[in-house]
Structure 1
């Protein structure tokens, strides 16, 4: 009997077959090359291998990313989801092996019996048992349990890739929020300078009015421009506060007071040129695409489990032990007992439930294929959009800089002509407005250009590790995010 119990896993392993269909990934539904992509230099480091410390050289931003990876709740939830999926996979994998248990019982029973003369007698019986048992172990002849285990494993791997995708998204989101905050700060500073300029212009207009060298119309125009500049300043202050709130939410707590000083947008050490490679490279570098692939593997395994449900299920229940009415002689050789109870069940009629479950599994696989292809297309578009920005932002910034320089020269000349009496105040006000608009546009354009670099970095799978050549195990590892992850 003991030899039979020990041979059950071998019997199940040898007898098992699989009804899971062979999975063939669909070809990427995108062009073979990215538009506007240039041939990378031989020494260029792929974005997926470029740590975020190397990508973002601003010490203040690096510290903020560190804090976010330690305290952000979304990343912590993603790590907990990985642990939950891992334990679910362990639960499913346990079904491949027999569950062996030890049971020890002792019973004492009082019974009443009546003889032919109507007399009642009482008797007390005792029974002690010790058994090692295998309960309802399914021989996985058609691969149903194996398919369920494979599906759970694929979902676990998908959750790991999902956590990595959240990691990359968080690094990119902190960088974007930081640069948005820096844009708001510089726009507020520029608005303060603009207000000071218009207030100075208003004071001058009032002095000229008192000296009867200008009209009340000039004063009214100056007052209107000063009021507009004041309103603009309040809007910039509100945008700065909202940007700070967004950054604080991503970091996961109040920002410490000992952060390094921020660098201006014009001096941000953000790498501008990243090799895009080929669209097929994204399948290996982007965690969200690998997550979609694993979900497709899981859906395919579900079909195998649904197919196997049509076939007979054989389960074994067996026990071996000792039983005796006296506890002292429980383990005597003559008190050995055993039980072997195989069970065969074959579905006959279930109202079409099994066929519906199979069709449902096939539909969900088709959905997983569509989601996998859509994820590839979205990834391709993100990279292509960022490459379009890389190809055009430099020329746009150069043109905008020329426009700002021309507006500044026009303002200087208009001020000279106004002071010499050749031009009226309207021409000077118009030149001032043009110069202010050009400065604001330059700030916004520099921010857009940096944000485009961040988008390209994320879309190429960069940001998973802090240092080049590998991930940073000291920041936001699954064990750090979930202290109980390694407990058994």
Structure 2
């Protein structure tokens, strides 16, 4: 019997059949090429470490701290440990479970039930090993469940990598937003100082009758609008700093000096490649595919439920009615209980379980295809923006230079009595707006480069050397 059970166990362990459908990756529901120019002169984003992509030493320190302390990324890492534990639990069903057993039984038989007419007390002691309900996986049910658990574990690991990439990008964007608000705040502060000086001069001219009340009120309006802009930018800068602190996960001190937006040196000319490259470059797409693989494996487990299940229960040991006689000659015991369960009537449970498995696979296919489409759109949007932002930045810079020259000429005309103060005030207002818009355009260009870097799967590696490993 023991030899027979061992043979059956060996057959079960060697059984590799599965009733899961053969997995085939769905066709990507996107175009073969991006609508905008996808060429670039830099290295591929997946090979370009974030320390090479972001040249600002202050930003590098913030990203490193965020990767170490951010709670969302820490939770994602713990999810991997959770999925690994669940996979190991499921994998344990592939092997038999052996338990050591020690038991003592005591029973008293009353006089009324005793065949001898006397009450008796019986005792028994037993020591041994037992194999409990081990299923022989001839139809791959356990193996399919194990494959599904493995795919879920791999999907969790990919999701953690996606969170890593997202954190790098969001930290950089939050830092640049804080820098932009700071630059705009400095411009607003200088503008306010200049307008207050102009207002004092206008007040003196009004007091001696050299200018009208209209000129004075216009100067007063410009001072008020500058104060409004300064207060607004102060609030926005503080809120951006709070958002950055949340991403970093801890207070940061002794940071390197911050660089201006026009000195960031972020790599903008990234090659996008082909849309098919996203299937391997983007961890969120790989995670969606692993979830699809898991649902495909669950179909195999649902199909196997229609077939008989063979399970084994066995035990070997010694037994005696006295503790001292447990290991005497002739005390050996064994049991071997094979069990065959054939599904006959289950009120449609197995059929509905199989239907549910198929529906969940269709859902997973739709989720996978949507992940591909979202990734394609993110890259396409970033490429479309890149094609116009350089031109927009040059144009906005030209506008700022023209407005500065206009203010200089208007001031000369006013001092020579050729133009009124209204022309100077209007030139001051337009220059301030142009300077603020230039900062925003620089920020848009930098965040666009970050969005493209993230959309192409960049930011997972720290440097090119680690990406090559």
The two structures have a TM-score, normalised by structure 2, of: 0.96
User: Which residue among 47, 51, 54 is the counterpart of 1:53?
Assistant: 51
- Are the aligned partners of 1:188 and 1:237 in contact in 2 as well (CA < 8 Å)? yes
What is the aligned partner in structure 1 of residue 342 from structure 2?
A: 346
- Are the aligned partners of 2:47 and 2:468 in contact in 1 as well (CA < 8 Å)? no
When structure 1 is superposed on structure 2, of 428-437 and 105-114 the one drifting more is 105-114
User: Which residue among 269, 272, 277 is the counterpart of 2:273?
Assistant: 277
Please list the CA deviations of residues 230-254 of structure 1 after superposition, one character each: whole Å capped at 9, or x if unmatched. 0111000000011011111111122
Aligned length: 469
The two structures have a TM-score, normalised by structure 1, of: 0.93
What is the aligned partner in structure 2 of residue 13 from structure 1?
A: 13
Q: Is the aligned partner of 1:29 residue 2:29?
A: yes
Alpha-carbon distance change, 442 to 390 in structure 1, aligned in 2, over 3 angstroms = same
User: Which residue among 445, 453, 463 is the counterpart of 2:459?
Assistant: 463
TM-superposed CA distance for 1:35, in Å, is 2.5
TM-superposed CA distance for 1:15, in Å, is 4.4
Q: Is the aligned partner of 1:427 residue 2:427?
A: no
What is the aligned partner in structure 1 of residue 164 from structure 2?
A: 167
- Are the aligned partners of 2:39 and 2:270 in contact in 1 as well (CA < 8 Å)? no
When structure 1 is superposed on structure 2, of 348-357 and 446-455 the one drifting more is 348-357
3-state SS of 1:318 partner: strand
TM-superposed CA distance for 1:327, in Å, is 2.4
Please list the CA deviations of residues 71-124 of structure 1 after superposition, one character each: whole Å capped at 9, or x if unmatched. 1110111111111111111111111111111111123333333599x9963333
What is the aligned partner in structure 1 of residue 76 from structure 2?
A: 78
What is the aligned partner in structure 1 of residue 145 from structure 2?
A: 148
TM-superposed CA distance for 1:426, in Å, is 1.2
Once the two structures are superposed, the pairs formed by residues 232-243 of structure 1 within 5 Å of their partners are 232-243=229-240
Please list the CA deviations of residues 289-325 of structure 1 after superposition, one character each: whole Å capped at 9, or x if unmatched. 1000000000101111111111111111111111112
Distance 2:432 2:200 in 1: 19
When structure 1 is superposed on structure 2, of 284-293 and 385-394 the one drifting more is 385-394
- Are the aligned partners of 1:34 and 1:279 in contact in 2 as well (CA < 8 Å)? yes
Runs of 4+ in 1 over 4 A off after TM superposition: none
Distance 1:289 1:221 in 2: 57
Gaps of 5+ in 2: none
Q: Is the aligned partner of 1:319 residue 2:315?
A: yes
Distance 1:149 1:273 in 2: 44
3-state SS of 1:207 partner: helix
TM-superposed CA distance for 1:386, in Å, is 1.1
Alpha-carbon distance change, 390 to 30 in structure 1, aligned in 2, over 3 angstroms = same
Please list the CA deviations of residues 403-427 of structure 1 after superposition, one character each: whole Å capped at 9, or x if unmatched. 1111111110001101111111111
Please list the CA deviations of residues 186-215 of structure 1 after superposition, one character each: whole Å capped at 9, or x if unmatched. 111111011111111101101111222101
Once the two structures are superposed, the pairs formed by residues 428-443 of structure 1 within 5 Å of their partners are 428-443=424-439
What is the aligned partner in structure 1 of residue 282 from structure 2?
A: 286
Distance 1:147 1:244 in 2: 49
User: Which residue among 201, 206, 211 is the counterpart of 2:208?
Assistant: 211
Gaps of 5+ in 1: 474-488
3-state SS of 2:23 partner: coil
TM-superposed CA distance for 1:326, in Å, is 2.5
User: Which residue among 248, 251, 258 is the counterpart of 1:262?
Assistant: 258
What is the aligned partner in structure 2 of residue 367 from structure 1?
A: 363
- Are the aligned partners of 1:100 and 1:135 in contact in 2 as well (CA < 8 Å)? yes
3-state SS of 1:135 partner: strand
